Structure 1
Amino acid sequence: MIITDIQPRRRRLSQLYIDGEAAVKVDTETLLKSGLAPGDEIDDEQLHALLQDSAAHRAEEKALYLLEHRAHSKKELEDKITRAEFDREAARRAAEHMEELGLVDDEQYARRLAQELFERRKFGTRRVKQELRQKGIADDLIEAALEEFSTDRDETVETIRAILERKYPAAWEDEKTRRRAVAALQRYGYGFEDIFAALNAEPEE
């Protein structure tokens, strides 16, 4: 097979023409590093390697772009790259490379997210655990984060009571509001025992 032409395309891609026909688009930087030019011969193995290198480079660029905006867990980053029309293998390799560079750290990510969910969002332990699992955090890292930032029962009940006073002040008097409050607090990740402990305490004046 002969590369008969190379034409620039959008998004830093180049169109390769092989034996006079449009064949594949590859990352322009990867193509330049390969040294390939019109008139060169290329076999199937070389073309496959070029496409793999192109996908890997573009996936890493996508990873860096995502990490510029906010931190990601390794699994979350891999999933987002895959959804951006990259194959799973290229996405996995890009996420692993970001981890090797120290740009992805699931332990630190889990700690920061758990602290935010507990302290700012006022979520209960079950909801925090669910959120961390959805980000692909390993169970041992989840347990460590929960142990560091979760509160004891008295503090949990106090947090629930504060949510009730702020969002559902009528819950102590109106049954309909009480049911809505209980359902909402369950979604926050709190258990019935703690919810009713807070509801059975008198609201502050």
Structure 2
Amino acid sequence: MEITELHAYKGNTWLLRMDGSESPYFLHVSVVQKFHLQEGMRLPESAWEQVQTAELSRKAFQHACYLLDRRDYSYQEMYRKLEPKYPAAVCYAVTDRLAAKGLINDRRYAEQLARHYVTGKHFGLRRARQEMYRHGLLEAQIQEALEPYTEQMAEQLQALICRKYAGYFADPQDRRTVERGKAALVRQGYDFSEINAAVAWFLAQEEEADE
């Protein structure tokens, strides 16, 4: 395979044509320089594949950095984001590079998500764990990140009931409304045992206030 045309095109992009190919290829100047490409150079098929992979890797890394400017990603989450556009080998190589540079850090990301879901959205540990799984984190990472919040769940649930769900439990004889309130808290990720204990605490507080 021979390079029949090679020159600057726009900015850092170069145009390259190969013999036997009707359509041009566009390469970043860094790739041209890396492989010392020149017009008239003959490349074996394996070398041309390396050039194309290098260009794809550059684009994938650039795209990944753009995504990371907007928010953090886990290793698996970033791989899934790149996979529709790039070959698997390129996705793994780019994701490994991001991790090596510290741009992706699953432990840091797990801590960030745990704080967001527990203290930000006031989810119970079960709902927080489910949401963190969706972001491609491993069980061990999730467990470690959620561990500091275990002891505060009872107090958090009590505060949540007082602030947002008190109306459901104002009349404990209205069983239908009470059950609706409990169901809403289940959707927030709290267990029935936690909910029942928090509701009992709330009702006791209400009785004391009425005395």
Give the whole-Å Cα distance in 1 for the aligned partners of 2:94 and 2:108: 19
- Give the whole-Å Cα distance in 1 for the aligned partners of 2:166 and 2:10: 57
Pair 1:164 & 2:161 matched: yes
1:44 maps onto 2:41 in alignment: no
Question: 5+ unaligned residues in a row in structure 2: which ranges?
Answer: none
Q: 2:124, 2:11 → 1: CA distance? A: 44
Question: Aligned pair in 2 of structure 1 residues 27, 185: CA closer, same or farther (>3 Å)?
Answer: farther
Given that 1:16 and 1:26 are in contact with CA atoms closer than 8 Å, whether structure 2 keeps it comes out as yes
Question: Mapping of 1:106-185 within 5 angstroms?
Answer: 106-151=106-151, 155-172=152-169, 173=171, 175=175, 177-185=177-185
From the superposition, tell whether residues 175 and 89 of structure 1 become closer, same or farther in structure 2 (CA, over 3 Å): farther
Paired with 2:10 and 2:123, the residues of 1 have a C-alpha distance of 45
Q: TM-score if structure 1 supplies the norm length?
A: 0.82
Q: Secondary structure at the match of 2:38?
A: coil
Aligned to 1:191: 191
2:59 aligned residue: 58
Question: In structure 1, how many angstroms separate the alpha carbons of the residues matched to 2:196 and 2:26?
Answer: 61
SS in 2 for 1:5: strand
Are 2:4 and 1:4 equivalent residues in the alignment?
yes
Helix, strand or coil at the partner of 2:104:
coil
In 2: Cα distance, 1:61 partner to 1:98 partner? 11
Q: Which has the larger radius of gyration?
A: 2
Q: Deviations over 1:95-125 (max 9, x none)?
A: 1111111222211221222123222221111
Q: Identify unmatched segments of 5+ residues in structure 1.
A: none
Structure 2 CA distance, aligned partners of 1:14 and 1:150?
Answer: 56
Of stretches 99-108 and 158-167 in structure 1, the one that deviates more from structure 2 is 158-167
- Residue 14 of structure 1, CA deviation: 4.4
Distance across 2 between alignment mates of 1:8 and 1:177: 71
Q: Which moved more, 1:46-55 or 1:172-181?
A: 172-181
Structure 2 residue aligned with 1:102: 102
> What TM-score do the two structures reach when normalised by structure 2?
0.80
SS of 1:136's partner is coil
Judge conservation of contact 1:15–1:22 (CA < 8 Å) in 2.
no
Is the 1:72–1:109 contact (alpha carbons within 8 Å) kept by the matching residues of 2?
Answer: yes
The residue aligned with 2:78 is: 77
Q: 1:57 to 1:179 in 2, by over 3 A?
A: same
What is the alpha-carbon distance in structure 1 between the residues aligned to residue 145 and residue 134 of structure 2? Answer: 15
